[in-house]
């Protein structure tokens, strides 16, 4: 039941027609690349401020509730962009998107990991998480088709209202996900699980446990590179693709990423040095594509994205392997916090040097990755109880 509903949620949550076009909406109102990057900064800053508090709320109250509320916040952002398109509405919409993304971040991983552990299958996390990630990326295909069709029929307005409906539908599915919880154990059993106690528990594990801390930092840096996705449309436009064909021209990139995510289960047993080598090779391919700067270069971007997403799924799974306490969403939210902080570097690099600057940044992450993931966990997971 959990996996089936999560798959439906994964498809709906990313089949949003606005996704391939919202950067073009911003550009169409007269915003420059630098102005658009500042909007992304607003998004990241909001996520930074909301990430850990929302993770604690998910652990303290309801992870499925947090995911549902996140979908509704995203829907509200789409309403602002559609009804009042302009710089202020775009910024406020990203505030809502930042809060919505923070509510989902950590909640999904914790819900899935604890659900699989309850079923006696914690080792399936990497494979299933990769499948969900692949479904979310594959959802870019119907999103691109819908964006192209709806834009032709009714412009950005029709695209926006359709996106509102999809976001609300994903929130309804999230609200019906079954949820499992870790029972209090050891020191965590002392006293009620208050908000502050949950925050302290998650922060202690994320920041004081060397195995968890290193993985949190490494995966945060790696995850931040996914900010490149926000520039796929602009990249295609700059490389000579006509505006009306941009959604279809870039759809192959998330599809390649979906293939990479789906194959991540096979990479789970790879040595860290091999994973790092795969990621480094993918970055090199992206660098060559940036030098070409033509529509053909989009194939290179797709190759990079496939390798990147495969390594990212494996790295996220290794974070979950290290977490032992009940504040799993809170610990994972520290990954999200680090990701959003590192995203500011990605946005800044793109505003200054676009693809070449991103390539340099990605190579630095490739160097840092094995340093954070080197230490291995030693304990075994604890039992679970069911949450209503």
Q: By residue range, what is the domain housing residue 122?
A: 2-179+206-378
CA nearest to 258, candidates 1, 2, 10, 4: 10
CB contact set of 58 (below 8 Å; sequence gap of 6+): 65, 66, 103, 106, 107, 110, 329, 330, 333
> Is residue 221 assigned to a domain?
yes
Residue 293 confidence (pLDDT): 87
Residue 383 confidence (pLDDT): 42
Report pTM. 0.83
> Is residue 212 assigned to a domain?
yes
CA nearest to 106, candidates 14, 188, 193, 199: 199
> Is residue 387 assigned to a domain?
no
Other CB atoms within 10 A of residue 242 CB: 10
Residue 302 confidence (pLDDT): 96
Each of the 388 residues of the chain gets a pLDDT tens digit; together they read: 788 999 999 999 999 999 888 988 998 888 887 888 789 889 878 988 998 999 989 888 889 999 999 999 999 999 999 999 998 999 999 999 999 999 998 899 989 988 888 888 888 888 899 999 999 988 878 998 899 899 999 999 999 999 999 999 999 999 999 987 756 555 555 545 688 888 888 888 888 888 889 999 999 999 999 999 888 888 998 999 887 788 778 888 989 999 999 998 888 778 888 999 999 999 999 999 999 989 999 999 999 999 999 999 999 988 888 888 878 889 999 998 898 889 888 988 988 888 999 999 999 999 999 988 886 654 444 444 434 3
> Is residue 196 assigned to a domain?
no
> Is residue 332 assigned to a domain?
yes
> Is residue 258 assigned to a domain?
yes
The total of structural domains in the chain comes to 1
Other CB atoms within 10 A of residue 173 CB: 21
Question: For the domain that residue 211 is a member of, what is the CATH number?
Answer: 1.20.1250.20
Residue 384 confidence (pLDDT): 41
> Is residue 192 assigned to a domain?
no
Residue 115, classified by CB atoms within 10 Å of its CB into exposed (0-12), middle (13-18) or buried (19+), is buried
> Is residue 82 assigned to a domain?
yes
Residue 190 confidence (pLDDT): 52
């Amino acid at each position: 039941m959990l996996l089936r509903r999560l798959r439906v949620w994964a498809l709906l949550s990313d089949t949003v027609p606005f996704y391939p076009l919202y950067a073009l909406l911003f550009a169409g109102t007269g915003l420059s690349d630098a102005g658009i990057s500042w909007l992304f900064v607003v998004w990241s800053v909001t996520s930074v401020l909301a990430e850990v508090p929302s993770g604690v709320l998910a652990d303290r109250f309801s992870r499925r509730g947090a995911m549902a509320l996140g979908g509704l916040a995203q829907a509200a952002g789409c309403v602002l962009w559609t009804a009042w398109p302009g710089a202020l509405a775009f910024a406020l919409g990203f505030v809502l998107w930042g809060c919505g993304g923070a509510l989902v971040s950590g909640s999904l991983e914790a819900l899935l990991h604890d659900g699989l552990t309850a079923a006696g299958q914690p080792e399936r996390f990497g494979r299933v998480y990769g499948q969900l990630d692949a479904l979310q990326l594959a959802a870019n295909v119907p999103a691109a088709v819908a964006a192209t069709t709806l834009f032709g029929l009714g412009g950005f307005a029709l695209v926006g209202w359709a996106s509102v409906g999809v976001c609300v539908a994903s929130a309804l599915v999230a609200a019906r996900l079954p949820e499992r919880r870790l029972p209090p154990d050891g020191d965590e059993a002392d006293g009620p699980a208050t908000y502050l106690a949950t925050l302290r528990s998650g922060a202690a594990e994320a920041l004081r446990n060397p195995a968890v801390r290193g993985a949190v930092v490494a995966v945060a840096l790696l995850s931040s590179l996914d900010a490149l996705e926000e520039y796929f449309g602009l990249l295609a436009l700059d490389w000579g693709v006509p505006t009306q064909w941009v959604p279809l021209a870039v759809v192959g990139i998330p599809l390649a990423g979906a293939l990479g995510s789906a194959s991540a289960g096979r990479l789970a047993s790879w040595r860290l040095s091999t994973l790092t080598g795969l990621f480094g090779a993918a970055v090199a391919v992206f660098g060559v594509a940036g030098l070409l700067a033509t529509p053909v270069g989009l194939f290179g971007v797709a190759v990079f994205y496939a390798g990147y997403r495969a390594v990212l799924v494996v790295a996220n799974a290794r974070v979950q392997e290290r977490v032992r306490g009940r504040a799993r969403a809170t610990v994972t939210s520290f990954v999200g916090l680090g990701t959003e902080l590192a995203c500011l570097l990605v946005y800044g690099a793109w505003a200054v040097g676009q693809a070449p600057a991103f390539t340099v940044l990605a190579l630095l992450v490739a160097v840092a990755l094995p340093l954070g993931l080197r230490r291995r966990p030693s304990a075994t997971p604890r039992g679970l109880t069911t949450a209503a």
